[in-house]
């Protein structure tokens, strides 16, 4: 499903996407279109794109084609999702210890919509860190 979502092919496009959006959250999936985890995440992102278009815009970035942000954002995982609002990186407390990004595929569409909505509401209030509606820590998986 990644071919349905807009791709940013260089660092300037990524910067302009983050800088130019004033009213919506910019959701960027960093990774590879051929990676299985990214395919699952892209499927979810494509499924919600129409539903969240009033408060979020979704872009895909290939980390091999655009290596400019790999060290800055520590993009070492196969699939990474990050949120930006008015040129500010919005961190999300997911209960995993890494508040900068989501580095796994979320396959439940409603779960991802809720997460983006929480980011949008918190970012509009000026918060740089929002708390996820679901705790993703491993302590509940036993």
CATH H-level, domain 2-136: superfamily: Glutaredoxin (3.40.30.10)
pTM over 0.85? The answer is yes
Angstrom distance (rounded) from CA 123 to CA 101? 15
Question: What is the pLDDT tens value at each position of the chain, 142 positions in all?
Answer: 567 889 999 989 999 999 999 999 999 999 998 999 999 999 999 999 999 999 999 999 999 998 888 888 888 888 999 999 999 999 999 888 888 889 888 989 999 999 999 999 999 999 989 988 888 777 555 4
Task: Parse the chain into domains and list their residue ranges.
Answer: 2-136
Which region, left, alpha or beta, applies to residue 28 given φ > 0 means left and ψ of -120 to 50 means alpha?
Answer: beta
Angstrom distance (rounded) from CA 137 to CA 73? 22
| Listed residue (118, 96, 95) closest to 27, CA to CA | 118
Residue showing tokens 């989501």: 102
| Listed residue (122, 105, 118) closest to 42, CA to CA | 105
Three-state secondary-structure class, residue 102 = strand
């Amino acid at each position: 499903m990644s071919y349905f979502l807009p791709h940013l092919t260089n660092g300037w496009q990524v910067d302009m996407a983050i800088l130019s959006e004033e009213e919506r959250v910019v959701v960027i999936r960093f990774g590879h279109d051929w990676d299985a985890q990214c395919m699952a995440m892209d499927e979810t992102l494509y499924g919600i794109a129409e539903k969240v278009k009033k408060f979020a815009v979704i872009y895909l970035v290939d980390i091999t084609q655009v290596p400019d942000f790999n060290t800055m954002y520590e993009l070492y995982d196969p699939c990474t999702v990050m949120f930006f609002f008015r040129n500010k990186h919005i961190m999300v407390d997911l209960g995993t210890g890494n508040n900068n990004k989501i580095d796994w595929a979320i396959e439940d569409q409603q779960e991802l919509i809720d997460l983006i909505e929480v980011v949008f509401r918190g970012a509009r209030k000026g918060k740089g860190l929002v708390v996820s509606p679901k705790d993703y820590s491993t302590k509940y998986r036993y």
